[in-house]
Amino acid sequence: MARYTNMDFLRFLLFEVHPIKDLFQYERFAHLDEEQAWMMIESAKLLADQEMAPFFKDMDENPVKYDGKGNVLTHPCLKRIITESASQGWIGASANFENGGMQLPEMIFSTAHHIFQAANNGVEGYLGLSAGAAGLITSFGNIEQIGTYVPKIFAGEWQGTMALTEPQAGSSLSDITTSAKPLNAEKYLINGQKIFISGGQHEACSNFIHLTLARIEGAPLGVKGISLFIVPKFRVKENGDLEYNDVYCAGDFQKMGQKGYATTHLSFGDNNDCIGYLVGEPHKGLSYMFQMMNGARISVGMCAASVAMAAYQASLQYCLERPQGRIAGEKDPSKEPTLIINHADVQRMLFTQKAIAEGALSLGLECNKLYDLTHVVTGDEKHNYWLLLEILTPIVKTYSSEHGSRSAALAIQTLGGYGFTTDFPVQQHYRDLKIMSLYEGTTGIQAIDLLGRKVTMEKGNALHILAATIQKTITEASQDPVLKELAEQLANDMKTIEKVLTKLYGYSVQGKIEQYLSDATVFLEMMSFIVIGWQWLKMSISARKKLSAPGLSVSEKQFYQGKIQTSEFYCKYELPHVSAFANTLLNEKELTNIKDFPIFD
């Protein structure tokens, strides 16, 4: 069995870096303790070992196929995976008791899903989408809707999806044209095309509940005229029977990665008989959808980190087994070849992967904990956690995706030519990962979200709270001679953010919105490096605490020492690029608002 994640590391995150026990003091989670939490994580690992990891390669080599007649044929393993996962609670477990859930913290739910993503990222999406869709119905649907759809979704019988994207609109949701014609206050006739619908209509589930954005006839233009509908493939008649609801799967996109994961084109209402059930109030669909979208963004970030982690584990295993060459300076060819992990450049590539994958996962759990906290506290405290989560969402999504790809490229590199062959999984990780910077808003969209909305929201309050939170970690670490350097570096980098924002606000004040946002992606890159540095500092503080306690085994000592060494690595090799990004951002030359396109020829 290939090792695709590191259980010790998950334990470290859950019990030391982001102590989950902080949650158990609240009523919502009072039925849980650490031991139970860990048992659930271990059962998720067993499930992934037995049902998911074995099919990772095979699902890639036998991709999802469209039969030309409305059906998407998936790998035979999928039905069992969905059913088993559902029966263990990995679709519905974070829901309230009264909705059939186990009231699990997202921290536990996401950690289990991390394991699934690392084992086989092509199957986890089916589960995650169903969980998100059910969550959306629960939050904004009426009692009847909840009762009709949620239990079936939780059971893994029906698949939930999110249906936003249209061919002509892409990321620009204000331009969606799928129409909804009222039949009565709740029922509408839906007509339109949706593309890139993950988990669309396939043979492993018997019904599909598409959470669909559409425009009610006469609605205002733009995003303020978008409503949310439940559009099932088969609608439930009053007697409980199902009848076809005119949602036709018109095709499946073939892709460079995630080949086991259906990416469908859906056509609603070709025969004018597609009924959508309005969720909540008209025209408020986009704000509802953003509950699912925000969750999906964090989940994509986690998934990217998880795939990078799996690639790192495969890379590490190879480096520990493969002898080749001799260390620098050793010229004697009669000496036995050394393991490649002894080469400094290989260690550099391993540390880089570890810094990215573990740093991104730590940030993912930070976000999940914030999410959980917003559900148990109230007032200002709740609002502040929410603000922090809002500003971290584009960062966890983008850093994990973009640098996850870089990390997987290094995994290939450590295997040399073998890494490019299908004999090893790292090339699949690399291919699968590429979608993550596109899912649920591309990197460019995330960057505009960060600089255009999150940094400025409530007069910069989200950013202030983030800065204060990071400062708290820096202050704690500054006392420690070993962590001082990283702490000081981060403190400097926090000043760099201020300097950069002062410059950028200047454009904004002058009404130069285009210029203010031009380099939003560079700003996001810069912020990400700092936020991941903060996570490494947090991990190092936890590691230092453990190291100062008596009675550690040799392997435990090495584990904690590894955290500190990776944070030193991060400080030497990654953080220096913060200044480079800042240099770009402080440079006033406006180069990317050109109207004269032949320049690009």
Nearest partner of 9 among 545, 542, 570, 524, judged by Cα: 542
Of the two residues 26 and 420, which places its CB atom closer to a second copy in the complex? Answer: 420
Query: Which of these ranges, 27-35, 36-44, 114-122, 567-575, lies near a second copy under the rule CB under 8 A?
Result: 567-575
- Within 184-243, the residues that bind a second copy by CB under 8 A are 195-196, 221-223
Backbone phi, psi, residue 93, to 5°: -65, -20
- If one asks whether residue 177 binds a second copy (CB under 8 A), the answer comes out as no
For position 549 contacting a second copy by CB under 8 A, the verdict is no
Q: Which stretch binds a second copy (CB under 8 A): 171-179, 374-382, 391-399, 453-461?
A: 171-179
Q: How far apart are CA 469 and CA 534, in angstroms?
A: 10
Residue with smaller CB distance to a second copy, 230 or 350: 350
DSSP secondary-structure letter at 261?
S
Site for a second copy in 412-471 (CB under 8 A): 412-413, 416-417, 419-423, 427-428, 430-431, 434-435, 437-438, 442-444, 447-448, 452
Q: Between 97 and 573, name the residue whose CB sits nearer to a second copy.
A: 573
Q: 38 vs 430, which CB is nearer to a second copy?
A: 430
Candidate ranges 77-85, 93-101, 288-296, 576-584; the one touching a second copy (CB under 8 A): 576-584
Of residues 192 and 225, the one with the C-beta less far from a second copy: 225
Is 494 buried (19+), middle (13-18) or exposed (0-12) by CB count in 10 A?
A: middle
**What residues contact 77, with CB distance under 8 A and at least 6 apart?**
51, 54, 55, 58, 59, 123
**Near a second copy by CB under 8 A: residue from 26, 234, 253, 505:** 253
Kindly state the smallest distance separating residue 474's Cβ from a second copy, in Å: 20
Tell me how far, at minimum, the Cβ of 355 lies from a second copy, in Å.
11
Find out whether 70 and 271 touch, Cβ atoms under 8 Å: no
Choose which of 21, 484, 499, 577 interacts with a second copy (CB under 8 A).
Answer: 577
In whole angstroms, how close is the CB of 83 to a second copy at the nearest point? Answer: 29
* C-alpha to C-alpha distance for 295 and 136, rounded to whole angstroms: 10
Toward a second copy, which CB reaches closer, 40 or 435? 435
3 state DSSP class of 369? helix
Tell me how far, at minimum, the Cβ of 337 lies from a second copy, in Å.
6
Q: C-beta of 121: minimal distance to a second copy in Å?
A: 14
Is residue 506 within the footprint of a second copy (CB under 8 A)?
A: no
Angstrom distance (rounded) from CA 180 to CA 199: 23
> Hey, is 248 helix, strand or coil?
strand
Which neighbouring-strand residues pair with 189?
A: 181, 275
- By CB under 8 A, tell whether 333 contacts a second copy: yes
For a second copy, how many residues bind (rule: CB under 8 A)?
108
Is residue 280 a contact point for a second copy (CB under 8 A)? no
Check binding of 170 to a second copy (CB under 8 A). yes
Which of 139, 174, 479, 502 binds a second copy (CB under 8 A)? It is 174
> How far from the centroid of its chain's Cα atoms is residue 495's Cα?
29
Are the beta carbons of 327 and 342 closer than 8 angstroms? yes
Choose, by CB under 8 A, the member of 374, 405, 407, 542 that binds a second copy.
405
Toward a second copy, which CB reaches closer, 145 or 362?
Answer: 362
The DSSP code sequence of 77-112 is HHHHHHHHHHHTTTTTTTS-GGGT-----HHHHHHH
Q: Return the CA Rg of the chain.
A: 24
209, β-bridge pairs: 160, 232
DSSP 571: I
Both tokens of 355, joined, read 């810094």
Q: Concatenated DSSP letters for 449-472? A: IIIIIITTGGGGHHHHHHHHHHHH
The C-alpha atoms of residue 504 and residue 512 are separated, in whole angstroms, by 10
Among 120, 161, 207, 521, binds a second copy (CB under 8 A): 521
User: Smallest distance from the beta carbon of 448 to a second copy, in angstroms?
Assistant: 7
558: contact with a second copy by CB under 8 A:
yes
Considering the complex, what minimum distance in angstroms separates the CB of residue 184 from a second copy?
A: 28
Kindly indicate which of the ranges 147-155, 181-189, 234-242, 328-336 contains the residues binding a second copy, using the contact rule CB under 8 A: 328-336
Sign of the CA dihedral with 213 first, then 216, 217, and 221 last: negative
Q: Should residue 399 be labelled a site residue for a second copy when binding is judged by CB under 8 A?
A: no
Nearer to a second copy, 237 or 589 (CB): 589
542 binds a second copy (CB under 8 A): no
Q: Does 38 bind a second copy (CB under 8 A)?
A: no
- Centroid of chain to Cα 521: 18
d(CA 92, CA 109): 9
Q: Does 555 bind a second copy (CB under 8 A)?
A: yes
Contact of 192 with 226, CB cutoff 8 Å: no
Under the binding rule (CB under 8 A), the answer on residue 256 touching a second copy is yes
Residue 93 and residue 231 in contact, taking contact as beta carbons nearer than 8 Å: no
* Residue whose CB is less far from a second copy, 117 or 398: 398
CB of 480 to a second copy, least distance (A): 17
Considering the complex, state which of residue 185 and residue 591 has its C-beta at the smaller distance from a second copy. Answer: 591
Q: Given candidates 31, 321, 337, 472, which one binds a second copy under the rule CB under 8 A?
A: 337
Residue 350 interacts with a second copy (CB under 8 A): yes or no: yes
DSSP for 131-183?
Answer: HHHHHHHHHHS-HHHHHHHHHHHHTTSEEEEEE---TTTTT-GGG---EEEES
Is the distance from CB of 394 to CB of 450 less than 8 angstroms? yes
Which of 238, 241, 380, 601 lies at the binding interface for a second copy (CB under 8 A)? 601
In the window 578-597, what residues touch a second copy (CB under 8 A)?
A: 579-581, 583-584, 587, 589, 591-597
Is residue 436 within 8 A of residue 300, CB to CB? The reply is yes
Q: How far is the CB of 2 from a second copy (least distance, A)?
A: 15
